[in-house]
Amino acid sequence: MPLPPGPFTGRTLSDLARDLRDGRVTSVALVERALGAVAALDPALNAFVTVDAAGALAAARRADEELAAGADRGPLHGLPVAVKDLIMVAGLPATMGSRHFANHVPGSDAVCVTRLREAGAVIVGKTTTHEFAYGPTGDRSANGPSRNPRDPARMSGGSSGGSAAAVAAGIVPLAIGTDTGGSVRIPAALCGIAGFKPAYGAIPAGGVFPLSRSLDHVGVMAGDAAGCLLAYRCLGGDVARAEPGAVRVGWLDPAGLSDGDVRVADAVRAAADAGIGGMEEVKLPEGFAQEVRETYTAIQSAETAAVHAERLARAPELFEAEVLERLRVAAELPGWRYVRALEARDQLAEAAEALFGRHDVLALPAAPIVAPLLGQRELELDGRPVAVRPALLSLTSPWNVFGLPALTVPAGTVAGLPVGLQLVARPGAEARLFAVAAGVTTGA
């Protein structure tokens, strides 16, 4: 059964910014609504690990005073925001979803948090992450699984599951997450909101606990693509303001990348056709999907095992069991396979570049399935067994390998559960990405 709407359900960041400036609401009032919604809705969601009521209210008062004094920090000024628990906020616990960091309180802000504060945003709390962000399901964390607002028996997706659930439930209008193989886009799609993973490095990763350094991205999640664009710009993202001309969009059949639910592919395709229209089919080169998958897995395994080697040796029992098992496998990947994967990445990047030869933006689902039940690791689709984890990652992780900007926007539902349309572009073409998304979200 879906949760009732929260105070920010259906409210865009622009609406809220206008209300604040028109004096119809204060930052303190917005933060009080967010805190009230945490109390009312979060017991069913487990989206939050830490709520900083006192800090948030103090920041909201300052935001109101600044606005009253004519010091306007821009569109995020006074708006409540939630931050994934993998991202450092000075003075608030950062558990990384792990018992290894049960008592960890960082002394300084991550770069993206500093930028949020400079933009006037008010940090309400820290959101549940899959342990160390190592999983797209969002259901293995020291503080328990985050749950899907459309059906709390189902997973939020992950690893930024708490951030997605908090925005989707209308508890906050904006959240920050990280995306190494889809960890912003997958939960955004499964929960029915928009999520944007910028180009590699576009939002600095300083102060973010690493999962896999060459694949890690900081991203933003909001109710719609316009909210993501607005937040991305406030975080330092450079997106051209001139209207792009005609944007050529190609449709990438998800069946070329992954097994999945044909109803999801059809629903997303229908939303794309309605909002975009005139898409040509884009074909992946022979072998591309498998090579990208293997390349992603090798890079991610070696880099993740490098982050956790000491913990794995000294205190393996503190990891959640599934995460521990995956880390142990990752730690055994031979070095030469990682070397090969780095070489393959360079070669595959040329093939990926060629996908954009005739198109500015590629469209495909963000995930090939709807949100599975919590803990579910295998589905049956048309009598075929489908492994949940690789399926969830299959359509998003290729763009991490190449560091391409990728956005997911809500694209309707299948059996009452949200699906997401993913749009992918080359770095520098973000304005086209968001222009296409604007058409889809209007049309959806």
In whole angstroms, how close is the CB of 376 to its own copies at the nearest point? 30
Which of these segments, 42-50, 194-202, 338-346, 418-426, binds its own copies (CB under 8 A)?
Answer: 338-346
- d(Cα 38, Cα 48) in Å, to the nearest integer? 8
- 183: annotated active-site residue: yes
309 vs 354 by CB, closer to its own copies:
309
- d(Cα 271, Cα 415) in Å, to the nearest integer? 15
Work out which of 73, 263, 337, 389 binds its own copies, going by CB under 8 A. Answer: 337
Peptide linkage before 159 cis (omega within 30 of 0):
yes
Among candidate residues 159, 160, 212, 394, the one labeled active-site is: 159
Indicate the burial class of 318 (C-beta count within 10 angstroms; 0-12, 13-18, 19 or more). middle
**Distance of CA 408 to CAs 54, 250, 281, 436, Å?**
33, 15, 19, 11
289 vs 306 by CB, closer to its own copies:
306
Question: Could you tell me the end-to-end alpha-carbon distance of the chain, in angstroms, rounded to an integer?
Answer: 23
What residues from 274 to 313 belong to the interface with its own copies (CB under 8 A)? Answer: 298, 301-303, 305-306, 309
Q: Considering the rule CB under 8 A, would residue 340 count as an interface residue with its own copies?
A: yes
The amino acid at residue 26 is T
| 373 DSSP assignment | B
- d(Cα 258, Cα 393) in Å, to the nearest integer? 9
- 156: annotated active-site residue: no
- d(Cα 184, Cα 272) in Å, to the nearest integer? 20
105 vs 306 by CB, closer to its own copies:
306
In sequence order, what E strands does 193-240 have?
Answer: 194-197, 217-222
Peptide linkage before 258 cis (omega within 30 of 0):
no
- 159: annotated active-site residue: yes
In whole angstroms, how close is the CB of 312 to its own copies at the nearest point? 9
Work out which of 132, 232, 338, 402 binds its own copies, going by CB under 8 A. Answer: 338
Q: Considering the rule CB under 8 A, would residue 381 count as an interface residue with its own copies?
A: no
Q: Considering the rule CB under 8 A, would residue 396 count as an interface residue with its own copies?
A: no
243 vs 332 by CB, closer to its own copies:
332
Work out which of 336, 383, 385, 416 binds its own copies, going by CB under 8 A. Answer: 336
The amino acid at residue 396 is T
User: Distance between alpha carbon 418 and the CA centroid of its chain, in Å?
Assistant: 15
332 vs 380 by CB, closer to its own copies:
332
What residues from 60 to 99 belong to the interface with its own copies (CB under 8 A)? Answer: none
In whole angstroms, how close is the CB of 49 to its own copies at the nearest point? 28
Residues that bind its own copies (CB under 8 A): 298, 301-303, 305-306, 309, 330-340, 343
